[in-house]
C-alpha cells in the first residue's frame, strides 16, 4: 500500500505509530496482547481499524493506478496530496490542533516531503506496468529495509535472526521479480522497489520527528509540502484534469484520508505485533481488485515471493515487539 503518512510501510505503521499527543505507540501503557479483557478489547478494535485502513489504502492505490493511465506519475502524486489536504485541514481544525503547527523541525519535514514525492511518483509509475498484487508483493520488503536502516540511523540493536529475516525478505523480492523471467529488472518492478526504499527512509525520519513534533503537524506538513513540490514538478507536463475523473479523485481523497485515520487509530491503541501483520491482507485486496477490474491474477512466482516476504516481515515485527517489551517491562 502506498499511503504516505501512514508507516508501511515499518512499514507503513512505523511512519505513524503515534497518537494524538504525538507520543509513539510503544510508549503507551499497553499490556501484552490478550492478557486481560481490556487489552483483548483494545487489540480487537485495533485489528478492525487496521483491516479498514488496508481496505481504504487498497482503494486509494486502485484510484492511483486508474489515474496513472491518463496522467504523468508526478501529477498523480500532486493530485493525491491536493485531494486529501482540505479534509486533513478540516480534521486538524476540528481537533483544535493548528496551534504550534509552525513550531516544527523544518529541515526534516522538507526531507520527508521529498521522500514522499519520490515514493508516490515511483509507486504510481510502477502501477502502470504491474498489477496491484505484484506491486504489493514487492513493496512488502519495506519492513526489512526499515529494520536494516534502524541499525545505522537509530543505533538500534539487530540480532542475527533479524538479519537472516532481512536476507530472506530480499530473496522473496527476487522471486517476485523472477531473475530468469521477464519480470527481472523491469522499470515497473524497480520503481516499486525504489518506492519501498523511499518509504523506509521516510519511516525512519518519522520516528525521529515523532520525538518532538505532533502527529497533526507531521501529517499536515507532509501533505502540504508534497502538494507544493509535486505541483511544481508536474506543472511543465500538466494534463488538464477531465471532468470524467471527478469521481475517481473524490474516491482518492476519501480513501486516503479515512485510511490514514484508521491506521493511526490502529497503532495508537493496539499492540504492534498483533496489529501489524494484518497489513498484509492488502495482498488479498490486490488480487481481488486485479481480477475485478483488469481480469488479472498473480502467477505462482508472485504468490511464492509474497509469502516469503510476508513471513519475513511478520517475524521482524514480532521480534521487534519482544525486544521492546524486554526493555520496557
Residues 241-274: tens digit of each pLDDT: 999 999 999 999 999 999 999 998 888 877 777 8
Separation of alpha carbons 116 and 127, rounded Å? 16
| pLDDT above 80 for 14 | no
What's the whole-number average pLDDT of the chain?
85
What distances in angstroms separate CA 44 from CA 3, 33, 47, 144, one per listed residue? 23, 10, 5, 26
Determine, yes or no, domain membership for 17. no
Which range has highest mean pLDDT (38-42, 115-119, 317-321)? 115-119
Determine, yes or no, domain membership for 15. no
Determine, yes or no, domain membership for 122. yes
Say which residue, 153 or 55, is predicted with more confidence: 55
Q: Which domain holds residue 160?
A: 33-327
Determine, yes or no, domain membership for 8. no
**Which pLDDT belongs to residue 32?**
40
| pLDDT above 90 for 301 | no
What distances in angstroms separate CA 326 from CA 80, 317, 319, 320, 323, one per listed residue? 40, 14, 11, 10, 5
What distances in angstroms separate CA 42 from CA 234, 314, 317, one per listed residue? 43, 20, 19
What is the pTM (predicted TM-score) of this model? 0.84
Separation of alpha carbons 75 and 178, rounded Å? 30
Average pLDDT rounded to a whole number, residues 145-174:
89
Which range has highest mean pLDDT (13-27, 230-244, 270-284)? 230-244
Cell of 92: 486538524
Query: Percent of the chain, pLDDT > 70?
Result: 84
For residue 18, the cross-strand partners are 24
Determine, yes or no, domain membership for 28. no
pLDDT tier at 275 (50, 70, 90 boundaries)?
confident
Average pLDDT rounded to a whole number, residues 277-286:
94
Average pLDDT rounded to a whole number, residues 203-225:
93
Q: For 90-135, what is each residue's pLDDT tens digit? A: 999 999 999 889 999 999 999 999 999 999 999 999 999 999 999 9
Q: Which of 11, 26, 125, 117 is nearest to 57 (CA)?
A: 11
Tally of structural domains, the chain: 1
Which of 39-53, 128-142, 178-192 comes out lowest in average pLDDT? 178-192
Determine, yes or no, domain membership for 109. yes
Q: What does residue 240 show for φ and ψ, rounded to 5 degrees?
A: -55, 130
| pLDDT above 90 for 3 | no
CB-side exposure of 9: number of CA atoms within 13 Å?
36
**Which pLDDT belongs to residue 269?**
78
What distances in angstroms separate CA 122 from CA 37, 133, 161, 303, one per listed residue? 44, 16, 31, 22
Q: Which run of H or E residues covers position 79?
A: helix 73-95
Determine, yes or no, domain membership for 1. no
**Which pLDDT belongs to residue 158?**
82
Determine, yes or no, domain membership for 99. yes
Amino acid at each position: 500500500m502506498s499511503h504516505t503518512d501512514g508507516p508501511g510501510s515499518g512499514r507503513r505503521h512505523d511512519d505513524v505509530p503515534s497518537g494524538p499527543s504525538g507520543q509513539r505507540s510503544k510508549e503507551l501503557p499497553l499490556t501484552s496482547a490478550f492478557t486481560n479483557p481490556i487489552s483483548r478489547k483494545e487489540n480487537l478494535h485495533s485489528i478492525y481499524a487496521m483491516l479498514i485502513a488496508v481496505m481504504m489504502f487498497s482503494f486509494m492505490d486502485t484510484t492511483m493506478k486508474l489515474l496513472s493511465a491518463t496522467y504523468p506519475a508526478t501529477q498523480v502524486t500532486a493530485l493525491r496530496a491536493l485531494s486529501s489536504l482540505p479534509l486533513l485541514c478540516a480534521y486538524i481544525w476540528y481537533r483544535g490542533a493548528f496551534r504550534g503547527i509552525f513550531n516544527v523541525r523544518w529541515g526534516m519535514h522538507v526531507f520527508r516531503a521529498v521522500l514522499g514525492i519520490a515514493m508516490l511518483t515511483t509507486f504510481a509509475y510502477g502501477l502502470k506496468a504491474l498489477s496491484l498484487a505484484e506491486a504489493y508483493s514487492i513493496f512488502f520488503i519495506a519492513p526489512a529495509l526499515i529494520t536494516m536502516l534502524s541499525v545505522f540511523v537509530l543505533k538500534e540493536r539487530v540480532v542475527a535472526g533479524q538479519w537472516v529475516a532481512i536476507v530472506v525478505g530480499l530473496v522473496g523480492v527476487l522471486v517476485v521479480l523472477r531473475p530468469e523471467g521477464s519480470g527481472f529488472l523491469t522499470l515497473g518492478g524497480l520503481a516499486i522497489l525504489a518506492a519501498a526504499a523511499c518509504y523506509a527512509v521516510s519511516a525512519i525520519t518519522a520516528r525521529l520527528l515523532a520525538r518532538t513534533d505532533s502527529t497533526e503537524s507531521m501529517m499536515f506538513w507532509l501533505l502540504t509540502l508534497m502538494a507544493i513540490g509535486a505541483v511544481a514538478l508536474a506543472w511543465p507536463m500538466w494534463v488538464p484534469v477531465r471532468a470524467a475523473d471527478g469521481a475517481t479523485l473524490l474516491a482518492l481523497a476519501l480513501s486516503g484520508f479515512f485510511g490514514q485515520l484508521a491506521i493511526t487509530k490502529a497503532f495508537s491503541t493496539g499492540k504492534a505485533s498483533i496489529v501489524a501483520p494484518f497489513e498484509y491482507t492488502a495482498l488479498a485486496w490486490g488480487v481481488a481488485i486485479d481480477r475485478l477490474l483488469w481480469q488479472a491474477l498473480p502467477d505462482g512466482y508472485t504468490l511464492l515471493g509474497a509469502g516469503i516476504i510476508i513471513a519475513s516481515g511478520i517475524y521482524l515485527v514480532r521480534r521487534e515487539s519482544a525486544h521492546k517489551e524486554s526493555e520496557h517491562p
